[in-house]
Chain A
Amino acid sequence: MTAILEVDELSSGYGPVPVLRDVTFEVPTGTVTAILGANGAGKTTLLRTLSGLLRPTTGRVRFDGEDLRGVPVERLVRRGLAHVPEGRGVVAELTVEENLRLGGLWRRDRADARRAQDEVYQLFDPLARRRRHAGHQLSGGERQMLALGRALIARPRLLLLDEPSLGLAPRVSGQIMTLLRQLCDGSGLTVLLVEQNVRSALGIADQGVVMSLGRVVMATPAAQLRDDEQLRHAYLGF
């Protein structure tokens, strides 16, 4: 199995103090990888470094075998890497429709961008009913749908998701998890999922990467984290 994303000895942070320290792991193509860890472990910082919002101090990120160093943030989505940031990043002042259009503006293939938009409306019918509503009028679940749908319009090969279930009702977050799994199985999408909600993340993940204080302390098949109580206790505390 090939890895779509290879992270090698990556360090980064804000200012002089490093947050990530020598992070190394791989994400196999077509899988769901869950990044787990306590608040402040550096999960968001990791995603921000992967998508170029933060510049790594050392280390390397390879996407599809190509080094991402020096690739500007706005070009990554053209290469097939989409990042749904923490807090979802719905532009509150724009309407649902505008948010979705924004996700496909860079695409040359206008027809397919439109098709992708229609697919999103089919996938999330609450959005279809609220096309003209502004982002700030949406509920938490709708916002998550919008953020996820907007990322899908880019037809990404790798999707970075930062805490998609944060603040959602368990039922809604469960639906989103199921959907992610389906996308993965159905269209060959690869998902890198940051989650606080360890149980639901492990429920759909193939691999678990546990972070603590900016380091990767364990990378293992998700099934092992699910089943091995001792391991779970030691690393995830439950």
Chain B
Amino acid sequence: MDRFLFLTLDGVSTGAVYAAFALALVLIWRAARLVNFAQGAMAVATAYVGYAVVSATGSYWLGLGAAVLAGLALGALVERVLMRFVGHANPLGDVIVALGLVLLIQAVLGMVFGNEYRPTAVPFDTDALTVGGIAAMSPYDLWVLGAVVVVVALLALLFTRTSLGLRMRASAFAPEVSRLLGVQVSRMLTVGWALAAAVGALAGMLVVPTGLGLHPHAMDLVFVIAFTAAVVGGLDSPAGAVVGGLLVGLILSYVTGYLGPDTTPLAVLVLLLAVLLVRPGGLFSGPRARHV
């Protein structure tokens, strides 16, 4: 029972990171109708920037800020320089370009920083606190959870309460009409990418110290998990991404806890296939049928 509780709490905190990652995927999907397969690699790149700043300045918070800023810049850059120019004639074009970017980013990281694991500093204790004799969350887990909650809340505010959010939503739903109403749709697309990459950067900073370690490939599996989370929630639904992330985090925590860490990739695949084959629009899909 104690173990179950521990795994549940652990699942919630890793699930929060997956939720943030899935949210980043959903942001780009809604803005551009494409899955950013480079999301993981981009997050690793910004995590390198972040932790380089941490070790240079000794301040975790400066590093976190640097990573998020780097995410904004990288996201905007990728959209402006690459994704904008992918032809629409081949429906696979954007996936292929993103995968090329994955190789490129990982190679550059390997050349600049080396392929070894690098230690990462964390601002909070990663040992679990014991509450009433039961090992519960660590302070670091609480920080992760809190950070993701704040980000989700900020994004919700941005999209529902600000005119930038309204512009972004309108551009995603009806680009042509939005242009006729004076919205600079292509700029909104860039903003969407920047925002998504910044969220991804934050998620990367949060997830790297939790057992992954900083490494060019640190996010390979995390990306697949986040994709699964986004699919579970439905690629169109930001709220679904959050719920999907938590759900996948929990399931994987139980699987890892009871069956061993090696089974994780298998569990991810099974989960992904199950959702896609049974409920292709995601668990929270509305009545509108979507083409998968």
Do A94 and B182 contact each other (CB < 8 Å), given the known contacts A102-B166, A105-B166? no
Contact A94 B180 (CB under 8 A): no
Let me know if B126 is at the binding interface, CB within 8 A: no
Does B185 contact A74, Cβ atoms closer than 8 Å? yes
| 0/1 string, B31-62, CB within 8 A of A gives 1 | 00000000000000000000000000000000
- Whether, in the assembled complex, A154 has its beta carbon less than 8 Å from a beta carbon of chain B, the answer is yes
Is B118 an interface residue when CB atoms closer than 8 A count as contact? no
Within 8 A of B (CB), among A42-82: 51, 53, 73-78, 82
Q: Could you tell me if A101 and B166 are in contact, using CB atoms closer than 8 angstroms? A: yes
Give the CA-CA distance A82 to B180 in the complex, in Å: 7
* Cα–Cα, bound, A76→B181 (Å): 9
Residues of chain A contacted by B182 (CB below 8 angstroms): 74-75, 77-78, 105-106, 154
Q: Are B166 and A74 in contact, with the CB atoms below 8 A?
A: no
What's the nearest-Cβ distance from chain A to residue B126, in Å? Answer: 42
Please report the C-alpha to C-alpha distance between residue A83 and residue B177 in the assembled complex, in whole angstroms. 9
Q: Does A213 contact B (CB under 8 A)?
A: no
- Once the chains bind, are B177 and A91 in contact (CB under 8 Å)? yes
Expressed in whole angstroms, the Cα–Cα distance for A78 and B184 within the complex equals 12
- In the bound complex, CA of A75 to CA of B182 (Å): 6
By the criterion CB–CB under 8 Å, are A83 and B180 in contact? yes
Q: Which residues of A contact B166 (CB under 8 A)?
A: 94, 98, 101-102, 105
Give Cα distance in the complex from A106 to B163, angstroms.
10
Contact for B184 among A53, A74, A85, A93, CB less than 8 A: A74
Task: Name the residue of chain B whose CB is nearest to the CB of A98.
Answer: B166
1/0 per residue, CB under 8 A from A, across B187-211: the answer is 0000000000000000000000000
Name B's interface SS. helix
Q: For the complex, give the distance between the alpha carbons of A106 and B183 in Å.
A: 7
Report the contact-size class of chain B (Cβ under 8 Å from the partner): 10 to 19
| Inter-chain contacts of A76 with B (CB < 8 A) | 180
Residues from 135 to 183 in B contacting A, C-beta threshold 8 Å:
163, 166-167, 169-170, 173-174, 176-183
Interchain nearest-CB distance for B29 vs A (Å):
15
Cβ 8 A contact of A74, one of B169, B173, B174, B183: B183
Q: Is the CB of B173 within 8 A of A91?
A: yes
A224 to chain B, nearest CB (A): 33
- Write out the residue numbers on chain A whose beta carbons fall within 8 Å of the beta carbon of B169: 93-94
Residues from chain A with a CB closer than 8 A to the CB of B177 are 85, 89, 91
CA gap between A105 and B27 in the complex, in Å: 22
Q: How far is the CA of A94 from the CA of B172 in the complex (A)?
A: 11
Please state if B173 and A92 are interface contacts (CB–CB under 8 Å): yes
- Least CB distance from A145 to B in Å reads 16
Contacts of A103 in B (CB 8 A): 181
Do B173 and A102 touch (CB < 8 A)?
Answer: no
Nearest B residue to A89 by beta-carbon distance?
B177
Pair B180/A85 contact, Cβ less than 8 Å: yes
Q: Judging by beta carbons under 8 Å apart, are A105 and B180 in contact? A: no
**Given known contacts A83-B180, A85-B180, is B173 in contact with A93 (CB within 8 Å)?**
yes
Q: Is A150 an interface residue (CB 8 A)?
A: yes
Contacts of A82 in B (CB 8 A): 180
What is the CA–CA distance of A73 and B177 in the complex, to the nearest angstrom? 10
B170 A102 Cβ-Cβ under 8 A: yes
The 8 Å CB contact of B180, one of A89, A93, A98, is A89
Q: Which residues of B contact A150 (CB under 8 A)?
A: 181
Shortest B102–chain A CB gap in Å is 32
Residues of chain A lying within 8 A (CB to CB) of residue B174: 89, 91
Measured CA separation A154–B183 after assembly (Å): 12
In the docked arrangement, what's the CA distance between A30 and B271, Å? 63
Interface contact A77-B181, CB-CB below 8 Å? yes
Residues of chain B within 8 A (CB-CB) of A92 are 173
Q: Which residue of B lies closest to A103 (CB)?
A: B181
Q: B173's contact among A75, A85, A94, A154, by CB below 8 Å, is which?
A: A94
CB nearest neighbor in B for A73 = B179
Min CB–CB distance A77 → chain B (angstroms): 4
Chain B contacts of A83 at CB under 8 A?
180
- Point out residues on B near A: beta carbons under 8 Å: 163, 166-167, 169-170, 173-174, 176-185
Query: Can you offer 15 A-B residue contacts whose CB atoms are under 8 A?
Result: A51-B180, A53-B176, A73-B180, A74-B184, A77-B180, A78-B182, A85-B177, A91-B173, A91-B178, A94-B166, A94-B169, A101-B166, A102-B166, A102-B167, A154-B182
New contact pairs (15) apart from A74-B185, A85-B176, CB-CB < 8 Å: A53-B179, A53-B180, A74-B180, A77-B180, A78-B182, A85-B177, A89-B174, A91-B178, A93-B169, A94-B173, A98-B166, A98-B170, A101-B163, A102-B181, A105-B182
Sorted from nearest, which 8 A-B pairs have the closest CB atoms? A106-B182, A89-B177, A77-B182, A73-B179, A91-B174, A93-B173, A74-B179, A83-B180
User: Which of A's residues lie within 8 Å of B, judged by CB?
Assistant: 51, 53, 73-78, 82-83, 85, 89, 91-94, 98, 101-103, 105-106, 150, 154
